[in-house]
Amino acid sequence: MQNREYIQWLMGEGQLAVPLALLHNIQSLNLSPENLGYLLLALAESEKAITPEEMAKNPWVKWSLAEGWASWIKEGDKKKISFLPLWDRLYHLWEKQQQDLPAEKVISLKMEGEFDYNKILKWLDQVRGTLSITFREKQVLQEFNLKYGWSTEFILIFLQLCFERGQTTLQTYQPIAKKVYGNGIHTVEELISFMSDLDWIQYKVIEVKKCVGQYGGVTRPQREMYLKWHKQWKFSHEVIMRAAEETVRTNSPSFKYIDSILEDWHHQGVKTVQEAIMALQEHDQQYEQKHKQKQEQKKTEKRKTGNTKKRISHTDSRDWEKMLGID
């Protein structure tokens, strides 16, 4: 029990996936361990559902903007923080490293093949914290190399960008991979730009729909409802999915049902998955208590009704005796 509660506490606020290539190249990027910590804190802050004004006040985001590791970009009428400058620097560093490789090493890599399947599996295990890779997922990862022609590093960066946006399962990141391939994207720079422009709300709403057994396209009301949960009520995608999972226990899971649960959590000040679980437990306890009270009330009423019937029957009996003149 304690272990499960600890895991819920540990993972309740989400995860931050960081490529090991970034950690291995902090000296080349002129990043001290302390500054790397600032950068990671800024990356974590960028995942929160807060306004640009609130984001701009964060000291780690301020530092990243001042040092040129991040920048503001427009997304429709709104602006958001982007770490494209960081990934651009890392990409150019990788390009330089490739140019500096000896000719014999380059030939060797081409002959042996650059695809390191086990490296990808190991990365997934580390990020997820569990050996959760299915046979189907292994097949798809191999297809990324064989069918799409993607290298190990390209696949790892693709998965990293997906995981940063909450697309951590095969069902969510495979459709994105098809879009990347279909758009003829082959370089890391193109990939980062493409991923930044994707409509992540679309994929998140689809994930909620699948959870409640609905399929097909995303309707405007569904999209607006999700935006209300995420932008106005400040719920993370993980908390929204927990509410969606709760509706599956009912006879008619729906977006309206999810909305009622999240509205209740919003009034209670629920923010994390752990707090949501506690709210559900409290709700179940209150329901059981009310159910017991109703049952006790019914029993009490039944006893009173039964006693009344007996008194009426006894009185009626005596009356009949008088009417018939029986002594």
- For the entire predicted model, the pTM comes to 0.39
- % of the chain with per-residue pLDDT over 90: 13
Which two three-digit tokens encode residue 255? Answer: 């977006």
**Is pLDDT larger for residue 142 or for residue 100?**
142
Q: How many CB atoms lie within 10 A of CB 243?
A: 24
- Reference 233, options 208, 274, 277, 264; nearest CA is 264
Residue 80: phi, psi to the nearest 5? -145, 160
Average pLDDT over residues 138-142: 86
Q: What is the predicted pLDDT for the residue at 130?
A: 63
List, in order of start, the domains of the chain with CATH numbers: 15-100 (1.10.10.10), 112-198 (no CATH), 202-271 (1.10.10)
d(CA 135, CA 263): 39
Residue-wise pLDDT for 36-55, tens only, equals: 888 888 888 887 777 888 88
Q: What is the predicted pLDDT for the residue at 266?
A: 93
Q: Give the lowest-confidence range in 15-24, 32-41, 236-245, 271-280.
A: 15-24
Q: What is the predicted pLDDT for the residue at 2?
A: 54
132 pLDDT tier (thresholds 50, 70, 90): low
DSSP string, 165-226: TT--SHHHHHHHHHHHHHTT--SHHHHHHHHHHS-HHHHHHHHHHHHTT--SPPPHHHHHHH
75 pLDDT tier (thresholds 50, 70, 90): low
3-state secondary structure of 19: coil
